[in-house]
Amino acid sequence: MNETILDQLAEIVGNRLLTDVDERVSYGYDSSFGQYMPDYVVQVMATEEVQKIVQLANTHEIPIYPRGASTSLSGGPLPVYGGIVMDFSQWDQQLDIFPDDLLMKVSPGVKTGDIHQLAEEHNLMYAPDPSSSIICTIGGNLAENAGGPRGVKYGVTKDHVLGLEVVTAEGEIIHTGGNTVKNVTGYDMTKLLIGSEGTLGIITEATLRLIPKPADTKTAMIIFDDLYTAGKSISKILTSGVRPSKMEILDQNAVNKVEDYAGLDLPRTAAAILLVEVDGDADVLMKELQVIQQALLEIGVDNVQIASTKEEEAKLWQVRKLVSPAIVESGYTKISEDATVPLSKIPEMFRKIDEVKQRYNLNIVVFGHAGDGNLHPTINTNMRDADEVSRVEDAVEEIFHYAIELGGTLSGEHGIGTMKKPFFPKETGEAGMLFQKAIKQALDPKNILNPGKIFPEAGEKRLVLKND
Ligand SMILES: Cc1cc2nc3c(=O)[nH]c(=O)nc-3n(C[C@H](O)[C@H](O)[C@H](O)COP(=O)(O)OP(=O)(O)OC[C@H]3O[C@@H](n4cnc5c(N)ncnc54)[C@H](O)[C@@H]3O)c2cc1C
């Protein structure tokens, strides 16, 4: 730690500068893997504070690691080169809604769940709904371009943002986009910054787009005898003429883990279950589910159970919500991936994951946002068993490579961070990676914003689950 830097940071944020070892240790991890030690932690609560800290860091070439609620599953906020962790979680005061303009203006530390709640109080909806929404921040969602179950109908975070206030790597305050849905003045910097994982600029305010809240929802559970047909049914439903608002899949292992955990009378012998929600005018919802039922009959799927009450519907969605806690509870470490493939390739992806699971003798659970092709193969593993960890690494690498071969992607929503960077060029190609690096170089020439993320270091080839 440098005393001059400490004094200057203290001048900017006062007692929101944290320097004790125990405090710094607790800012060294996220929801993925690896523990690092930042030199300084600042809890920022104003754009001017961010600006002054970035100017200081830029002058002294100190890395800055923005951090929301640290629910990243890809290593996004990890302070891999020490430096300054910029904690946004305390800056959650600004939550201003403008119902007549169908927009909301928020500070970066606001929780996504609070945005949902305020929008609904005005009969409006902020559509992106990561499953972590009660704890994660909008700043983290913007940086990761977060998705969620509603992505199948409403898209992801970038589809619902009108504008941003951003502090650049050189400490300038800029505004992108504005307050209108239509805005084609120059490059679309809003979309470039969303999903840039805190590497191109620091977001200090967002203008979010709201839409009318759907009047009602209805949900069906579809039960499958084999995983391949479950995969095939996804394209069948999405081409039936109905657009579901959610479409979530759980394989047999996931169903059984939830059943062990919560005892919800789930069909333990099913190869998979699919939860399908439709939303909109109450009068048409049953008809839409019948259209889906009819389409599924054409491929021999007839076990469709429609929730007849709101309680039954809530119970079905509880099943999906409990998958993560059930996996955590079932033992050892949970490694969550989010390889994503084109819809028609989902059956092949299921087949591959099953084959990898047998070959490497691993406990893999598959669930995820089926309607986006966004699967979460999740592995329970004993991190003290070096041989098992090595098999996990090989299995994950195979799954990623296969997703790319199928025309898919390394990440549907969790981002690249530290966890997937060794595989990044496999998806983009060398020239594609250099093109992206050129943007980083132009906007952050001293590489102070979240360095060590997205792009692999020279020779970096393997997934590293442990950094000790
Ligand atoms: C149980 C669970 C369920 C999840 N479900 C989903 C899901 O359904 N969909 C989904 O997409 N993700 C999901 N996630 C992943 C995670 O919640 C998201 O990536 C979320 O967007 C991270 O938000 P956060 O506030 O925790 O940010 P962090 O984890 O703290 O940071 C994430 C990234 O954002 C950057 N960042 C944070 N604030 C700013 C800022 N103001 N300016 C610039 N960069 C910033 C950080 O540097 C980092 O790169 C889940 C995670 C968990 C643990």
Q: What is residue 459's predicted lDDT score, i.e. its pLDDT?
A: 79
Q: What is residue 168's predicted lDDT score, i.e. its pLDDT?
A: 98
Residue identified by tokens 């949900």 is 219
Cα 316 to middle of ligand 1, angstroms: 26
Domain ranges of the chain: 1-213+424-462, 215-415
Same fold yes or no, 1-213+424-462 and 215-415: no
Ligand 1 in contact with 336 (CB < 6 A)? no
Span 375-404, pLDDT tens digits: 999 999 988 899 999 999 999 999 999 999
Ligand 1 in contact with 146 (CB < 6 A)? yes
> Over 80: is that where the pLDDT of 79 sits?
yes
Ligand 1 in contact with 71 (CB < 6 A)? yes
Cα 281 to middle of ligand 1, angstroms: 33
Q: Tell me, what amino acid is at 289?
A: L
Span 250-290, pLDDT tens digits: 999 999 999 999 999 999 999 999 999 999 999 999 999 99
Atom of ligand 1 nearest to the CA of 137: 25
Q: Which fold has domain 1-213+424-462?
A: 3.30.465
Q: What is residue 331's predicted lDDT score, i.e. its pLDDT?
A: 79
Cα 137 to middle of ligand 1, angstroms: 7
Ligand 1 in contact with 248 (CB < 6 A)? no
Pairing mode, strands 40-43 and 84-87: parallel
> Over 60: is that where the pLDDT of 468 sits?
no
The region of weakest confidence among 107-111, 202-206, 411-415 is 411-415
> Over 70: is that where the pLDDT of 76 sits?
yes
Cα 214 to middle of ligand 1, angstroms: 26
Three-state secondary structure of 120-141: HHCCEECCCCCCCCCCCEHHHH
Ligand 1 in contact with 414 (CB < 6 A)? yes
Ligand 1 in contact with 195 (CB < 6 A)? no
Atom of ligand 1 nearest to the CA of 108: 41
Cα 71 to middle of ligand 1, angstroms: 5
> Over 80: is that where the pLDDT of 467 sits?
no
Q: Tell me, what amino acid is at 330?
A: S
Ligand 1 in contact with 147 (CB < 6 A)? yes
Q: 215-415, superfamily in CATH?
A: FAD-linked oxidases, C-terminal domain (3.40.462.10)
Atom of ligand 1 nearest to the CA of 204: 41
**C-alpha span between 204 and 86 (Å, rounded):** 12
> Over 90: is that where the pLDDT of 244 sits?
yes
